[in-house]
Amino acid sequence: MNEIIEKIKESGLKGRGGAGFPTGIKWESVISALEKRKAEDKNAKAYVVCNGSEGEPNVLKDDFILENYPEEVIDGIRIAMETIGSEEAYFVLRHDLFEKHEKNLKKIIGKKNIKLFKKTGGYLCGEESTMIETIEGKERKEPRDKPPYPTEKGLWNCPTLVNNIETFYSVSLIAAGKYQHERFYTVSGDVKKAGVFYFPEYWPIEKVLHKTENFPDEDFFVQVGGGASGKIYAENELVQEVSGMGAIVVYIISKTDTKQLMKKWIEFFYAENCGKCVPCREGVYRIKEILEKEEISYEDMKDILFNLRESSFCPLGKTVAVPFESLIEKIIEKHE
């Protein structure tokens, strides 16, 4: 077995883009797919894609990592290319990150065949198959059917490894023997010391808040994972681990208008909706419609959220239900 993949698997590293899929297994899948292709065509190719499209509100770690550890990120991409047998990689960056970091990244990349790619489109273009569509120059930026997954048929139908910036950063540390099972956390909202922090992974929410001196002295709740799709946790649930993209948004109950908060979420999902599937397209519109009324029917909203979660084509539609259902259950029905 490849030495670096063995190290990655031993480390237990999972993707830091939100899905949390085991990194070593993903890399092995790409290698296996490429080997099958080469048995039929010795010129078969594989690609590496670094996802720096970070479009979720209140997730700020990509900019922080590129500001402080760009060499490690590029090193992680290089290691991935060498490991899976890829001669070409794409580094996709959200437009503002591209403008800010392009010059420095090009200097670090040098003659390596890593192409910087300015992301076009919105939040959904951070989904791996949609991102691949944008690199290929497809006019409609929407997700592909799965399976096959990108590890088997990705960029130009070739086996493709897609990981995000923090994952490649961690791979570089693993290869150098410096990985200490830590991850980045973004803390924001009603806090005194908002920012990006680096602590051991698997820390509970309350420990991150205490360690960063951001534990409120008023009744509050948190949104964990991301500032739109993240799940709501009440104050008595903070022993939960920080999951997803590592973001914690703090809301003081006395200061928070839950209707306005839900309006902010739905405006985000409405703007980022690709319109491909009926459950998501119509469901998001209906929730937006409900929130514009003076009296909110939470029973109607729950029915729509159930359909979104169970019937949507891609992760965007499925995750719309997460913040709304948890906010209604844990905060609105208990405090309002």
Does 274 score more than 90 pLDDT?
no
Q: Determine the Cα–Cα distance for residues 130 and 132; give it in Å rounded to an integer.
A: 5
Bridge partners, residue 118, by sequence: 93
The whole-number pLDDT of residue 1 equals 47
Domains of the chain: 3-175 (3.40.50.11540), 182-255 (3.10.20.600), 258-335 (1.20.1440.230)
Q: What is the mean pLDDT of the chain?
A: 90
The whole-number pLDDT of residue 126 equals 56
pLDDT in tens, 199-228: 999 899 999 999 999 999 999 999 998 888
221, 199 Cβ separation under 8 angstroms: no
Question: What does the pLDDT average to over 76-101?
Answer: 96
Closest alpha carbon to 84 in 20, 182, 155: 155
pLDDT in tens, 18-30: 667 899 999 999 9
Give the end-to-end CA distance of the chain in Å, rounded to a whole number: 57
Question: What does the pLDDT average to over 191-202?
Answer: 96
pLDDT in tens, 179-192: 999 999 999 999 99
pLDDT in tens, 239-249: 999 987 899 99
Question: What does the pLDDT average to over 42-50?
Answer: 95
Question: What does the pLDDT average to over 156-175?
Answer: 96
Bridge partners, residue 249, by sequence: 188, 223
The whole-number pLDDT of residue 185 equals 96
26, 151 Cβ separation under 8 angstroms: yes
Flag the least confident range among 48-52, 196-200, 280-284: 280-284
Q: In the structure encoding, which two tokens stand for residue 272, read together? A: 């980022």
pTM: 0.92
